[in-house]
Chain A
Amino acid sequence: MDRHEAQEILACYRRELDDAADPRFAEAFELARQDPALGRWLEDQTALDAALREQFRRIPVPANLRDTILARHPVNRRATARSTAWWRQPWLHAAVAGLAALAVVAGIWLANRPVAFDAYRREMAGLVSGEYEIDLKTNHFDEIRDFLATRGWPSDYALTPAIQGLEAEGVSVLHWRGRKVSLICLEAGEDEDLFLFVVDRSVFRDAPGLESPQFVTVGRMTTAAWSAGDKVYFLAGHADEQSLRRYL
């Protein structure tokens, strides 16, 4: 690899998304370490990329765009889940089985590729913001843990004392991009459901820190995410941040 090839490769590198250990990037980075001119170019390039990225992020979005989109499709706020009963049709079971097989193959490929936590946050919050179903309905945390352990899903999690004080409603086992995610459903009060997702920390290249939880609002859901041990915990509910903090 010469300097020009290394520049072409490094020009495509994004610290937040790309894996520096990828052999293609690693070789170019090694060259940049050995070549002071290339190293300086990389520093300048990184600074300019950061500035350009910031400007793309700042492209102003019309204040009324969100409401305009939602106003055009009021019935679709939940309609996608209600519109079809495809899962009741027997011929689709075979298709689902086929998709599941594909998901296994894709999962093996994806399992080696760390992903961004923000995508997980948005998709998990989206998942429980609408309609959902659980695999096992039980009020007993021990049964939930046994259910997950016997199926090979993350079960060696540590619940906070406040969460242990809540009433469990049940558990689901999820696949997300080839990873196993445990979903523990909790009841925090009358019609106040909370959802705790547990997944291995190694899934993410930018897992939440160990020090303090990250609070982010996704649509109408308030979410908190934190790491402990080798697990990432993601709590979502319709409560506000202050209420959610009580369970951490």
Chain B
Amino acid sequence: MAKRLGTSRAPTPHISDVASVASSMDFEVLVDAYYRPLYQFAMSLTRCEAEASDMTQQTFAIWAAKGHQLRDPSKVKTWLFTTLHREFLSARRKQHRHRHEELDEESEDLAVIEQATEQRLDAASVLGALARLGEAYHAPIALFYLNEHSYQEIAEILEIPVGTVQSRISRGKVQLQRILMERDSPAVAANREHRG
């Protein structure tokens, strides 16, 4: 029988048991580890500081109430991001602002990247460009650039197949780059409108 050893010296489940580890996670450590990327994800979805803060807080509130049900410690991060994304979708539904947009299934060539576009970026302009994307692309693109998750995890968070994640990221990046280039070069936008 294993013996107990710990800073709090209180009875605990077995540490090596996969099912028990999530329940032994310290709430403060969890907050420290994930509140920043969760807020940044929320901010990229909402572009509203107050809304993003509320969603991040609500995500941890749900963890505090239900986190002990999670048995696999490797899923904690995915669980938190999934919860936040669901909160976002729920809030959007309540606001009746959820737009259903048909995805452009037409094949698009990836844009030629204008030199130095990357040098003129800042967080606000990137979020502004993200907001102009089709809604289906927001979350996959944000998770892609937040660089916290594998494709399998992004698929779990968004509750869509991995293949769909990859195609939305690929198409979303085409849109995002065009938006950024048009911002940098109004002539490009004018030309596109003229051609359209």
Residues of A within 8 A of B (CB): 4, 7-9, 11-12, 14, 16-18, 41, 44-45, 47-62, 65-66, 68-70, 72-73, 76-84, 86-87, 95-96, 99-100, 103, 119, 122-123, 125-127, 129-137, 169-170, 172-177, 183, 185, 191, 193, 218-221
Contact = CB atoms under 8 A, between A and B. Distances in A.
28 contacts: A4-B107, A8-B167, A18-B150, A47-B118, A53-B145, A53-B147, A58-B122, A59-B44, A66-B31, A66-B32, A68-B53, A77-B28, A80-B25, A80-B64, A81-B24, A81-B25, A86-B23, A96-B19, A103-B18, A127-B25, A130-B8, A130-B26, A132-B15, A133-B5, A170-B5, A172-B2, A183-B15, A219-B33
Interface in B35-59: 35-36, 39-40, 43-44, 49, 53, 56-57
B31 A83 contact: no
Interface residues of B, number: 81
Interface of B: 2-8, 10, 12-21, 23-33, 35-36, 39-40, 43-44, 49, 53, 56-57, 60-61, 64, 67-68, 71-74, 76-77, 107, 109-110, 112-113, 115, 117-119, 121-123, 125-127, 142, 144-147, 149-151, 166-167, 169-170, 173-174, 176-177
Contact of A87 (B20, B27, B43): B20
Nearest to B74: A177
B26 A126 contact: yes
Contacts of A96: 17, 19
Contacts, number: 245
Contacts of B31: 66, 69-70
B19 A131 contact: no
Contacts of B8: 78, 130-131
Nearest to A54: B121
A80 B73 CA distance: 13
A124 B147 CA distance: 20
A193 B64 CA distance: 27
A41 B123 contact: no
A12 B117 contact: no
A27 to B, nearest CB: 15
Given A62-B53, A65-B35, A219-B33, A81 B12 contact: yes
A12 B73 CA distance: 27
Contacts of B145: 49, 52-53, 55-56
A12 B77 contact: no
B13 A87 contact: yes
Given A127-B24, A133-B3, 18 more contacts: A12-B144, A17-B149, A49-B145, A51-B118, A52-B176, A55-B145, A56-B123, A65-B56, A76-B27, A82-B10, A86-B13, A96-B19, A99-B72, A127-B25, A131-B6, A133-B14, A134-B15, A218-B32
A83 to B, nearest CB: 6
Given A12-B166, A53-B147, A61-B40, A72 B57 contact: yes
